[in-house]
Structure 1
Amino acid sequence: MKKILVLIAGVIAASGAFASEEGAKLYAEKTCVACHGKDGKKTLTPQYPKIAGQNAAYAEQQMKDIKSGARANGQAAAMKGVMHLVSDAEIKILAEHLASMK
């Protein structure tokens, strides 16, 4: 039983590391870094939000709302042009990545 728990813990840790690596890759590829900064803390302009450490569920919903047009306030227009290039699966990975950024 102990070996199974250790194996499960290893799989979970490995999947987390993969998701983080994939999230970092998407963050750069989808040009998030251009406005939100490499670390998610140093934004292009003061109007853009600092997103490092953001709650994953919140970030995911905001990105989906911007993509669908349900959110059109604030700086949403700046992201609208990019979000059509991001799939829902990628949004989830990005949201988890944002939450992991400290």
Structure 2
Amino acid sequence: MKTIAMVAGAALLSLGLAGNVLAGGADLYKTKACFSCHGADAETPIMPTYPKLAGQNAIYAFNQMKDIKSGKRNNGQTIVMKGIVAAISDAELKEIADWLATL
């Protein structure tokens, strides 16, 4: 079974299919301007009250972004985030969250 998984993984890598979500998350982090507040490395936010996102649990980060987008979470600095996440699809938010978890 391990051999099959290794062969399948190698095949995906050779086709360029593995890692696309992670690459997409990194690109989205840049193009959606997340780096503007949270830092290019997701560890050096511009304000001490802004969270460091690198290494954050993907499910937690995704749920926080969705809650800000929906208005369920509306405390602290969420007013700043609400306008930004409004223009990002849930699928894109998930890609960003998955990528952040890998840092």
Q: Please say whether Structure 1 and Structure 2 have the same fold, judged by a TM-score greater than 0.5.
A: yes
* Residue number in structure 2 paired with 1:57: 59
1:36 paired to 2:38: yes
Give the residue type in structure 1 aligned to 2:25: G
The RMSD of aligned alpha carbons is 2.1
> Any gaps of 5 or more consecutive residues in structure 1?
none
Query: What is the aligned counterpart of 2:26 among 20, 24, 27?
Result: 24
Q: How far apart are the structure 2 equivalents of 1:12 and 1:55?
A: 25
CA distance in 2, matches of 1:80, 1:47: 16
Q: In structure 1, how many angstroms separate the alpha carbons of the residues matched to 2:81 and 2:59?
A: 18
Which residue identity does 2:33 align to in structure 1?
A: T
Name the residue aligned to 2:78. Answer: 76
Correspondence for 1:95 among 74, 89, 97: 97
Identity of aligned residues (%): 47
Alpha carbons of structure 1 residues 15 and 63: separation in structure 2 relative to 1, 3 Å: farther
Encode CA deviations 1:14-70: one digit per residue, 9 max, x unaligned. 544211111110000111000000001111111100110000000000000000000
Matched residue, 1:6? 6
- Give 1:2 shift: 7.2
